[in-house]
């Protein structure tokens, strides 16, 4: 077959076939009387071999080595190809995210594009101070995609920079909540913790509140607790069990007790809170320190029933608990 027919049947251009010939990859077996290249069936088969190897990402030099060396083993090369391809995909994915971030900022001119690019470079810096500066130095009239800030916040290990990112996300309002909500279901606990801390600043946004409610059932207490504090401050009664658990565990127990007291201002919730606290007080195996914290939490509750429990505890078999309860009961009586 002449070169034109081979090109038509193989899909490889005549120019590329001549290039293969020059490199010694596929040299036609014969020549016509007029000097034209003439390919045999074996030559065409070799062309398809070359194209198959090129489709895997091999360079022409690597293809030549593979076809020339009968002892060539593909295992190592294929492993390298996998690694190189993965690295290229990562770079392409990063570029795609950058382009989407720029597109989401709706740039009016190239200066807007450059500002977003500068922010991206700043957030990628290994220096925490530079990352913080990149967030705080942005111009207020330049919109920054909430998805970009959320991604940075979810990956940020430095607490100071994380605080700056949460502030920026709070400025983004509803858009910031939407970008963070999905991360509450992330497999990585550290990501869920960062997401909840950021969502806590947006608890008034419905989408953020819904994500925080889902976080109340998280197996990680460092995810549940900030969610409960944020929701409790917004009057969400679903947070009561976690808040009571915080009093029991002695983690942010003062804040939790104050929130439980505020929730109990609602008569519909007061009984629920009191029952939960007294249930832990009477739980088998509750130690003295835990019962004292629960007793202190009772002081925050309004109404006579909490005072009745304090009077009962003033006669408790645990003398330390009894003294604390008695002192608080007297204090409440003096206030009344």
Cα–Cα nearest to 242, from 221, 272, 212, 214: 221
Residues 114-138 have pLDDT tens digits of: 888 888 888 889 999 999 988 887 6
Question: Which of the listed ranges 62-76, 78-92, 213-227 does the model predict with the highest average pLDDT?
Answer: 213-227
The tokens 């969502």 sit on which residue? 199
Quote the CA–CA distance of 135 and 116 in Å, as a whole number. Answer: 11
State the alpha helices, DSSP H only, in the chain: 3-10, 14-23, 41-55, 60-68, 74-104, 110-123, 128-136, 146-155, 159-172, 174-181, 189-200, 206-215, 221-233, 240-249, 253-263, 267-281, 288-299, 304-313, 319-335
How far apart are the C-alpha atoms of 211 and 190, rounded to whole Å?
A: 16
Q: Give pLDDT tens digits for 153-192.
A: 999 999 999 999 988 888 877 777 887 998 999 999 999 9
Measured in whole angstroms, the distance separating CA 243 from the mean position of its chain's CA atoms is 25
Distances from the Cα of 154 to the Cα of 161, 165, 306, angstroms: 11, 9, 42
The DSSP code for 2 is B
**HEC secondary structure over 62-83:** HHHHHHHCCCCCHHHHHHHHHH
Q: How far apart are CA 303 and CA 193, in angstroms?
A: 36
Under DSSP, is residue 170 helix (H, G, I), strand (E, B) or coil?
helix
Task: Flag whether pLDDT at 335 surpasses 70.
Answer: no
Strand partners, 2: 38
List all residues 6 or more positions away from 313 whose beta carbon is below 8 Å from its beta carbon. Answer: 281, 295, 298, 321, 322, 325
Structure tokens at 143: 């919109």
Q: How far apart are CA 69 and CA 64, in angstroms?
A: 8
Secondary structure element (H or E) that encloses residue 180, with its range: helix 174-181
**Which of the two residues, 212 and 21, has the higher pLDDT score?**
212
Tell whether the model's pLDDT for residue 203 goes beyond 90.
Answer: no
- Per-residue pLDDT tens for 43-76? 888 888 888 888 888 888 888 888 877 776 777 6
**φ and ψ of 12, to 5 deg:** -95, 130
SS3 242: helix
Burial of 119 (0-12, 13-18, 19+ CB in 10 A): buried
What pLDDT, on the 0 to 100 scale, is given for residue 6? 85
User: For residue 140, what pLDDT is reported?
Assistant: 53
Is the pLDDT at 142 greater than 70, yes or no?
no
Could you give the CA distance from residue 182 to residue 192 in angstroms, rounded to a whole number?
A: 9
């Amino acid at each position: 077959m002449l070169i034109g027919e081979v090109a038509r049947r193989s899909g490889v251009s005549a120019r590329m076939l001549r290039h293969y010939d020059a490199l010694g990859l596929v040299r036609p077996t014969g020549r016509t009387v007029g000097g034209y290249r003439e390919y045999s069936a074996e030559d065409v088969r070799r062309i398809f071999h070359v194209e198959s190897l090129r489709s895997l990402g091999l360079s022409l030099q690597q293809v030549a080595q593979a076809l020339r060396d009968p002892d060539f083993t593909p295992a190592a090369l294929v492993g390298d190809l996998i690694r190189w391809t993965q690295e290229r995909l990562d770079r392409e994915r990063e570029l795609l995210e950058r382009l989407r971030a720029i597109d989401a900022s709706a740039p009016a001119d190239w200066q807007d594009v450059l500002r977003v690019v500068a922010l991206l470079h700043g957030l990628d810096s290994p220096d925490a101070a530079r990352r913080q500066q990149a967030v705080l130095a942005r111009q207020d009239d330049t919109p920054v995609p909430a998805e970009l800030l959320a991604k940075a916040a979810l990956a940020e290990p430095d607490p100071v920079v994380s605080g700056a990112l949460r502030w920026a996300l709070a400025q983004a309002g509803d858009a910031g909540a939407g970008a963070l909500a999905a991360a509450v279901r992330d497999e990585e606990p550290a990501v869920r913790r960062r997401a909840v801390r950021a969502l806590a600043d947006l608890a008034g946004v419905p989408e953020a509140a819904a994500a925080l409610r889902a976080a109340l059932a998280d197996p990680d207490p460092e995810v549940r607790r900030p969610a409960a504090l944020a929701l409790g401050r917004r009057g969400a009664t679903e947070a009561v069990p976690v808040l009571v658990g915080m009093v029991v565990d002695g983690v942010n127990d003062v804040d939790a007790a104050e929130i439980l007291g505020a929730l109990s201002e609602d008569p519909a919730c007061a009984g629920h809170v009191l029952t939960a606290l007294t249930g832990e007080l009477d739980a088998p195996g509750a130690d003295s320190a835990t019962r004292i914290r629960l007793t202190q939490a009772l002081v925050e509750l309004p109404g006579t029933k909490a005072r009745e429990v304090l009077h009962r505890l003033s006669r408790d078999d645990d003398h330390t608990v009894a003294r604390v309860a008695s002192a608080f009961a007297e204090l409440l009586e003096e206030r009344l």
